[in-house]
Amino acid sequence: MVGDEDNTLKAGNQPKLANLSALVTFLGQHWLILLALIPLFRILVLTSWDGSFTNWQSSSRISWLPSLYVELAVICIALLHKMSALQMFRDLSRLVQLLACGWLVALVTASSSATFPQLAVMSAVIWIVHLLFAVSIVHLVRCYDINCISMVRNFCLVLAASSALTGAAIFAFVTITGVDSAYDWKSSLPGYAHIRHTGYIFAPAIASGLAGMAVWPKFQSKPHAILLMVNITAMLWLGSRGPAAALILAVGITALFSSHFHTRLFWKHAGIATAAGSILSILLPAPTIGWFGAIQRFWNGNTGPSDLSSGRTEIWLETIRLISDRPWLGFGGMQFQHVNSAAAGFFKHPHNSILQFAFDWGLLGCTAMLLMLAIAYFRLVLGKSIDSRLRSFGLLGATTMLAFSMLDGILFYNFTIAVTIIFLLLPLASLSPDETGASGHPFPSL
Closest alpha carbon to 30 in 141, 161, 160? 141
Q: What is the pLDDT of residue 51?
A: 77
Q: What is the pLDDT of residue 24?
A: 66
What's the confidence (pLDDT) of residue 297? 79
Distance of CA 261 to the CA centre of its chain: 23
DSSP symbol at 341: G
Query: Residue 21's pLDDT is what?
Result: 67
| pLDDT at residue 444, rounded to an integer | 45
Q: What per-residue confidence (pLDDT) applies to 289?
A: 78
pLDDT at 16: 60
Q: Give the CA distances from residue 128 to residues 104, 107, 135, 156, 239, in Å, rounded to whole numbers and listed in that order.
A: 9, 9, 11, 27, 33
Strands, E assignment, 319-415: none
Mean pLDDT per 10-residue segment, the chain (446 residues): 54 60 70 93 88 86 92 92 88 93 96 94 97 93 80 95 97 94 91 94 97 91 94 96 96 96 95 97 90 85 53 89 93 92 81 97 97 96 93 97 96 97 95 53 44
**Whole-model pTM?**
0.91
CA-CA distances (angstroms) from residue 213 to 73, 165, 231, 274, 311?
30, 19, 14, 13, 36
